[in-house]
Amino acid sequence: MTDWGGAIIQVKKNSKIDEGWQRNFLSAILSTSQGARIAIAVSEDTDIYDMDDIMWCLTTRVNPHTDILNPLPGGRGQTFMPAERMTAGDKEWTASNTRFEGGMGIDATVPYGYEEDFLRPQYPVDKFDAKDWFTDSDIDNMTKRMHGWMHSLAKFGR
């Protein structure tokens, strides 16, 4: 994401008392920039630089009724936000009369204590050496054909 548009953070929960910090972090992130639109919190088993991994978390770990947050409606906005332009009504569209509707915080973390319920299928890629079965040329050819999710699957087994 662009520097003003949002953030993806990774949260490690060490105990039951850590549950909920991710929502505080999301709220704080959305509060620190007038233009922040989205902040997503994921668990430590997620590669925050892999959009396929982020999409996995969004589709399997987010309850739309409880995990999508809008913590700051009505704050100061930015003039480059077309969505807020609609709230300015008949007024000229300037920074002084736009509204920031708070952005969207998404808690896509695994609830503490339920880690076993959210385990992903794991292929034992750490126990397999492709060089035992294929030539370097074959491996290079296969690697060139990999796209998207296949990179994560080859690297992490999920």
Torsion angle in degrees (nearest 10) through CA of 142, 144, 148, 152: 60
Q: What residue ranges of the chain are covered by domains with CATH 3.40.1670.10?
A: 6-120
Cα distance between residue 36 and residue 130, in whole Å: 44
The string of pLDDT tens digits covering residues 35-94 is 778 999 999 999 898 888 899 999 999 999 999 998 766 665 555 555 555 555 555 655
The structure tokens listed for 60 are: 């399997």
Can you give the pTM of this predicted structure? 0.72
Most confident of 32-36, 59-63, 112-116, 121-125: 59-63
Query: Looking at 32-41, 104-113, 125-134, 149-158, which range is the least confident one?
Result: 149-158
Domain 6-120 has CATH 3.40.1670.10: yes
Give, in degrees to the nearest 5, the angle at Cα 64 between 72 and 32: 25
Per DSSP, the three-state class of 74 is: coil
Q: State the DSSP H helix or E strand holding residue 59, giving kind and residue range, or none if neither.
A: helix 51-61
Helical residues (DSSP H) of 67-135, grouped into ranges: 82-85
